[in-house]
């Protein structure tokens, strides 16, 4: 497997490795780089019967591998924080699909969010912030990014996107998209939150700023975001309602049931 690289887009410097309860840990699994398919058999053994049935329902092998990788990652990552075997976790979803821990009960505070795309699964874990979200996108795919922005983004974002040279527009599109997804996933409300009613102001300043339409009744000061590039082909965004405190991130390249290569700490 290639060395892990998670490069901050906004110049966040690395700091010493340290599990801090006041931040978010990003567990990153580049599952397509794993050639040992016996390992995926072991991942299947971690799942519940319902999860196995869901996995087998996917028509394409690539979708089954992504599902296996996602379930293995969340189970093994959470077990790094508390003394719970990976097989023992049980999950449920909120009304809008946000997953949460159903069993075991009575655990210390532990919150997570998941995202997957071609080649990469990311699990964000926080022991402090209950509203946490993560999104990862594969940026090498082709698509009508500008037209999607016109129909889904805020007027502020659309103007900023079209003001860029054409060759820079896809990169800005994916920055907006991942940040927006991380926010709505942290809120757990899905597309009940209109994408055009909040805007990210990517002018190079830190922290990353968000502006809300007054109809949402949100306070932008309580949110913090991070935006990072991973492996040259993926972009990752994380969001948390920190109450205005800086957001500290740790990132690891992790292979479930194999181990970590190792943690990298990223400061606000």
| Domain assignment present for 1 | no
C-alpha span between 88 and 104 (Å, rounded): 7
- pLDDT of the residue at 160: 95
Number of domains in the chain: 1
| Domain assignment present for 114 | yes
- pLDDT of the residue at 256: 94
The predicted-structure confidence for 241-262, as pLDDT tens digits, reads as follows 999 999 888 888 899 998 865 5
Tell me the pLDDT band of 16, cut-offs 50, 70 and 90: very low
Tokens coding 259 = 């181990």
| Domain assignment present for 135 | yes
* pLDDT(52) > 70: yes
| Domain assignment present for 94 | yes
| Domain assignment present for 30 | yes
- pLDDT of the residue at 89: 97
* pLDDT(267) > 80: no
Q: Is 21 or 134 the better-scoring residue by pLDDT?
A: 134
17: domain CATH number is 3.90.470.20
- The proportion of the chain whose per-residue pLDDT surpasses 90, expressed as a percent, equals 65
C-alpha span between 200 and 94 (Å, rounded): 26
* pLDDT(9) > 70: no
- pLDDT of the residue at 260: 66
Q: How far, CA to CA in Å, does 211 sit from each of 46, 155, 157, 253? A: 42, 12, 11, 32
* pLDDT(51) > 70: yes
Q: Which of 126, 127, 124 is nearest to 115 (CA)?
A: 124
Global pTM reads 0.89
* pLDDT(182) > 60: yes
* CA quadruple 250, 105, 90, 225: dihedral sign: negative
Q: Is 168 or 267 the better-scoring residue by pLDDT?
A: 168
| Domain assignment present for 261 | yes
Mean pLDDT across the chain: 86
CA atoms within 13 A on the CB side of 121: 26
| Domain assignment present for 156 | yes
Q: How far, CA to CA in Å, does 143 sit from each of 110, 119, 188? A: 37, 18, 27
Tell me the pLDDT band of 230, cut-offs 50, 70 and 90: confident
Give the residue-averaged pLDDT of 59-85.
95
Q: Which residue has the tokens 């795309």?
A: 117
Rounded to a whole number of angstroms, the CA Rg of the chain reads 18
Find the domain containing 146 and state its range.
Answer: 6-266
Cα 162-163-166 angle, rounded to 5 deg: 65
Say if residues 27 and 125 touch (Cβ distance below 8 Å): yes
| Domain assignment present for 199 | yes
The predicted-structure confidence for 119-159, as pLDDT tens digits, reads as follows 999 999 999 999 999 999 999 877 767 778 888 899 999 99
């Amino acid at each position: 497997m290639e060395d892990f690289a998670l490069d901050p887009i906004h110049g966040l410097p690395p700091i010493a490795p340290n599990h801090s309860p006041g931040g978010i840990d990003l567990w990153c699994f580049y599952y397509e780089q794993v050639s040992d398919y016996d390992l995926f058999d072991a991942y299947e053994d971690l799942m519940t019967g319902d999860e196995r049935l869901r996995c087998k329902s996917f028509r394409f092998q690539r979708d089954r591998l992504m599902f296996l990788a996602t379930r293995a990652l969340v189970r093994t990552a959470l077990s790094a924080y508390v003394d719970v075997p990976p097989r023992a976790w049980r999950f449920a979803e909120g009304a809008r699909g946000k997953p949460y821990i159903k069993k075991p009960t009575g655990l210390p505070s532990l919150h997570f969010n998941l995202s997957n795309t071609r080649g990469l699964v990311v699990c964000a874990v926080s022991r402090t912030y209950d509203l946490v979200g993560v999104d990862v996108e594969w940026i090498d795919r082709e698509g009508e990014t500008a037209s999607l922005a016109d129909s889904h983004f805020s007027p502020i974002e659309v103007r900023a996107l079209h003001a860029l040279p054409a060759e820079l527009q896809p990169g800005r599109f994916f920055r907006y998209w991942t940040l927006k997804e991380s926010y709505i996933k942290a809120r757990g409300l899905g597309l009940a939150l209109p994408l055009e009613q909040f805007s990210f102001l990517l002018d190079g300043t830190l922290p990353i700023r968000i502006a809300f339409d007054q109809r949402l009744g949100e306070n932008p000061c309580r949110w913090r975001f991070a935006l990072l590039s991973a492996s040259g082909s993926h972009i990752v965004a994380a969001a948390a309602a920190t109450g205005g405190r800086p957001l500290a991130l740790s990132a690891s390249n992790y292979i479930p049931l194999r181990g970590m290569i190792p943690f990298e700490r990223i400061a606000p």
